Amino acid sequence: MRAYIASWRRTEVERSARTVRPTDLRTGRPVWFGSRRAVRIERCRTSSRARERDLQRVATKRRHRRDDRSDGSAVMTISFPDPAPIDIQIERQVDQAILDGWPLPRWGWAIPGPYQGSTGAERVLGWQKMRIAEMMGLLERRLECSGCGAQAHHRHQEIYQRSLFCPAVCRSCHYRIHKRFMRPLEWSEFLQREVLEQSWLWCLPEDPLNRAEALRIAASTDLLTALQLHASDRKADRKDRP
Ligand SMILES: [Zn+2]
């Protein structure tokens, strides 16, 4: 019995230590739980907390929006004599829009891995420029895939230094393009079986490019021919190897 009373007392003490009694803000005295005054004070407190949370949320949103706004560092550096290739002309317009304050669209996924000598951050920037170009109506709204002729849902960017060269592709072709280095046999079978004869997919190199190679290809006026030349050079190299 004594032990029971002791444990009851202990729990009572712990409970009172844990609970925070609402206090009357005017008098500073504790208010009884359940009384009208306590309820009113509690309601007032929660609403002020909610208000604070709302204010914080708005501030965070504003900060994000400000971060999305570019300071011009997103502008490209490769220069071409006029008349520049069509994708470069589009990129110039997009760059100008960014300099004029067009906010960079929010990338809502994880930063992707490197591809063809470009870093994940550069790939995100390439995607952002492509989205701006789409929003500005600078890219043609092609609905069929440039690989197989099916309905297209994506655009593929091969060289991110020329990110506005982004032909429309279907999901299946896009997936295979990105997996071609890991599955070269599947890729060549896919080319033979499904890809249209005149498609640019035939120009794609079968090995990944390093940064120097990508930059060299990006600097040429005819991007596809440069890609094709590079691909055939690599093929010849492979054949010459013992
Ligand atoms: Zn396709």
pLDDT of amino acid 8: 56
- Domain span including residue 89: 72-240
Task: Identify the three-state secondary structure at position 76.
Answer: coil
> Which pLDDT value is given to residue 217?
94
Same domain, 125 and 33: no
> Are 202 and 217 members of one domain?
yes
64 and 78: one domain? Answer: no
Report every protein residue that has its C-beta within 5 angstroms of ion ligand 1: 145, 147-148, 150, 170, 173
Domain boundary among 38, 68, 98: 68
pLDDT band at 48 (very low <50, low <70, confident <90, very high): confident
pLDDT at residue 31 is higher than 60: yes
Number of domains, the chain: 2
Ligand 1 centre to CA of 17 (Å) is 68
Is residue 121 assigned to a domain?
A: yes
Q: For residue 98, is pLDDT > 90?
A: yes
Q: Which helix (H) or strand (E) is 184 found in, with range?
A: helix 184-194
Q: Which of 133, 126, 94, 93 is nearest to 107 (CA)?
A: 126
CA of 174 to the centre of ligand 1 (A): 7
Going from the Cα of 145 to the center of ligand 1, the distance in angstroms, rounded, reads 5
DSSP helix, strand, coil percent of the chain (3-state; round to 5): 55, 5, 40
Contact in structure between 159 and 217 (CB atoms under 8 Å): yes
